[in-house]
């Protein structure tokens, strides 16, 4: 659109004042953090000049340390799936605190429909539906049941936020507590184990990463190129304007929260399949990690600003930090301290950048 950038009318369009995509800054931060770990690996005396990123021992076919790269993305893929939904909620100006608990509840319920009939040749008497005989079911059933759970929880969130007009913080806080209760109640606290082979395949190997990437691409396209995405941004940017423009804000918000619930359910299915077991305590604090990924990726908590690409980069930064600390053989305690500092730092930097951008106009 050359004529669009040149501008209509007599005013000149200054390319230097062009709005730089915030994702670029997040990407630079990612490279910077990787660089710092690489440098520390070379410099710290006890590291013996190990490389963070590169394959120095000739273990892989390429110049990169592929095992590390795989771990980096694998350990953020599942929370990353949640973060995709949380991102959309935050863009509408809301917040979703319930995703971690939805993961717990969904994992328990879905897993109980995916149990095998026999364990080591003996009947699986501890299976949740042993008496009903719902064992060795086709993989589609636990997946659909799981999705339905997540979508339902999301729908309740959405209806509460959109129609009762209580703050999203409160609505999803309620769901966070309630869904955790469901997770514990479902088996009275017992873990659910021994899934069928086909269910276990969902989260095996690098599957979580492929699912995450597939969903990320899908939602990137949806947020960027569909009416749904445009209205999500519009609502977060100026809810009154959205309403006056004829957008059905209530229905749209309900849809956004429902989709976030659905994504949490997908994460739950992948996670329980990967772990081969589901426990009531699954997914604790995932909601905060997912929000942190979004915030690090430049999603504004005020709504209206941010993108799926930002969240993916935020998730990568998360993974790099965890891997980096393990690489430097530092305790997990330091990891959490550093994570906290980076979350706050990301928001401070972003606000500072926003102010500067506003001032130079």
Partner 1 sequence: MSEYILETRNLTKHYGGVHALEEASFAIRKGEHVAIMGDNGAGKSTFVRQITGVERPTRGEIHFDGQKVEFAGPIEAREAGIEAVFQTLALADHLDVPDNLFLGREKTKWNWLGPFRRLDYKAMHADTLAALEKTGVKIPSIRNTIQYMSGGQRQCVAIARTATFHSKLTIMDEPTAALGVQETAQVENIVRTLKEQGEPLILISHNMRQVMDLCDRIVVFRRGRICANLIAKDVTGEEVVAYITGAKTQPDYSVEGAV
List interacting residues with partner 1 (CB under 8 A).
1, 3-14, 19, 222, 225-228, 230-231, 233-234, 236-238, 240-247, 252, 255, 304-305, 357-358, 361
Q: Specify the residue, 5 or 164, whose C-beta has the smaller distance to partner 1.
A: 5
CA–centroid distance for 252 within its chain: 21
Q: Specify the residue, 7 or 205, whose C-beta has the smaller distance to partner 1.
A: 7
Q: In whole angstroms, what is the distance from residue 220 CA to residue 239 CA?
A: 22
Q: Specify the residue, 50 or 237, whose C-beta has the smaller distance to partner 1.
A: 237
Q: In whole angstroms, what is the distance from residue 308 CA to residue 223 CA?
A: 8
Q: Specify the residue, 184 or 243, whose C-beta has the smaller distance to partner 1.
A: 243
| Residues in contact with 209: Cβ distance below 8 Å, sequence separation at least 6, in sequence order | 70, 73, 74, 77
- Least spacing, CB of residue 4 vs partner 1, in Å: 5
Q: Specify the residue, 226 or 351, whose C-beta has the smaller distance to partner 1.
A: 226
Q: Specify the residue, 67 or 225, whose C-beta has the smaller distance to partner 1.
A: 225
Q: Specify the residue, 218 or 348, whose C-beta has the smaller distance to partner 1.
A: 218
Q: CA nearest 47: which of 326, 348, 335?
A: 326
- Least spacing, CB of residue 85 vs partner 1, in Å: 15
Q: Which long-range contacts (CB under 8 A, 24 or more apart) does 18-24 make?
A: 19/357, 22/298, 22/305, 22/306, 22/310, 22/350, 22/353, 23/297, 23/298, 23/307, 23/309, 23/310, 23/313
Residue 37 · residue 327 · CB < 8 Å: yes
- Least spacing, CB of residue 343 vs partner 1, in Å: 22
Residue 191 · residue 128 · CB < 8 Å: no
- Least spacing, CB of residue 200 vs partner 1, in Å: 32
- Least spacing, CB of residue 106 vs partner 1, in Å: 23
Residue 279: other Cβ atoms inside 10 A: 21
Q: Checking DSSP bridges between strand 277-278 and strand 192-193, what pairing results, if any? A: antiparallel
**Euclidean distance between the first and final Cα of the chain, in Å?**
23
Residue 194 · residue 114 · CB < 8 Å: no
Q: Specify the residue, 1 or 43, whose C-beta has the smaller distance to partner 1.
A: 1
Q: Where are the alpha helices (DSSP H) in 245-285?
A: 249-275
Q: In whole angstroms, what is the distance from residue 282 CA to residue 183 CA?
A: 9
Residue 47: other Cβ atoms inside 10 A: 15
Q: Specify the residue, 68 or 231, whose C-beta has the smaller distance to partner 1.
A: 231
- Least spacing, CB of residue 23 vs partner 1, in Å: 14
**How many residues are there in the chain?**
361
Residue 195 · residue 110 · CB < 8 Å: no
- Least spacing, CB of residue 258 vs partner 1, in Å: 11
């Amino acid at each position: 659109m050359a004529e669009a950038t040149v501008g209509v009318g007599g005013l000149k369009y200054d390319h230097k004042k062009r709005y730089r995509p915030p994702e670029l800054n997040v990407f630079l931060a990612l490279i910077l953090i990787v660089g710092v770990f690489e440098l520390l690996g070379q410099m710290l005396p006890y590291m013996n000049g190990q490389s963070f990123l590169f394959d120095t021992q000739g273990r892989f076919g390429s110049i990169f340390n592929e095992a590390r790269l795989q771990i980096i993305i694998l350990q953020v893929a599942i929370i990353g799936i949640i973060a995709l939904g949380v991102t959309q909620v935050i863009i509408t100006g809301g917040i979703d605190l319930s995703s971690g608990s939805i993961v717990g509840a969904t994992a328990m319920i879905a897993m109980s429909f995916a149990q095998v009939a026999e364990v080591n040749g003996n009947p699986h008497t501890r299976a949740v539906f042993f008496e009903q005989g719902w064992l060795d079911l086709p993989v589609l059933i636990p997946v659909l049941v799981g999705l339905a759970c997540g979508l339902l929880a999301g729908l309740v969130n959405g209806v509460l936020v959109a129609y009762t007009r209580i703050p999203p913080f409160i609505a999803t806080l309620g769901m966070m507590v309630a869904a955790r209760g469901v997770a514990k109640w479902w088996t009275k606290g017992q873990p659910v184990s021994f899934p069928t082979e086909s269910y276990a395949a969902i989260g095996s190997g690098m599957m979580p990463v492929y699912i995450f990437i597939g969903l990320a691409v899908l939602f990137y396209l949806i947020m960027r190129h569909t009416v749904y995405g445009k209205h999500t941004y519009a609502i977060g940017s100026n809810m009154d304007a959205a309403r006056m423009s004829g957008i059905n804000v209530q229905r749209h918000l309900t849809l956004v929260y429902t989709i976030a619930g659905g994504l949490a359910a997908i994460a739950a299915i992948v996670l329980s399949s990967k772990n081969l077991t589901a426990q009531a305590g699954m997914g604790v604090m995932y909601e905060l990690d997912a929000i942190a990924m979004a915030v690090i990726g430049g999603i504004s908590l005020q709504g209206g600003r941010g993108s799926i690409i930002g969240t993916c980069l935020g998730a990568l930064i998360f993974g790099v930090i965890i891997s980096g600390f393990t690489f430097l053989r530092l305790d997990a305690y330091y990891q959490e301290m550093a994570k906290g500092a980076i979350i706050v730092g990301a928001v401070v930097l972003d606000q500072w950048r926003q102010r500067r951008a506003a001032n130079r106009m």
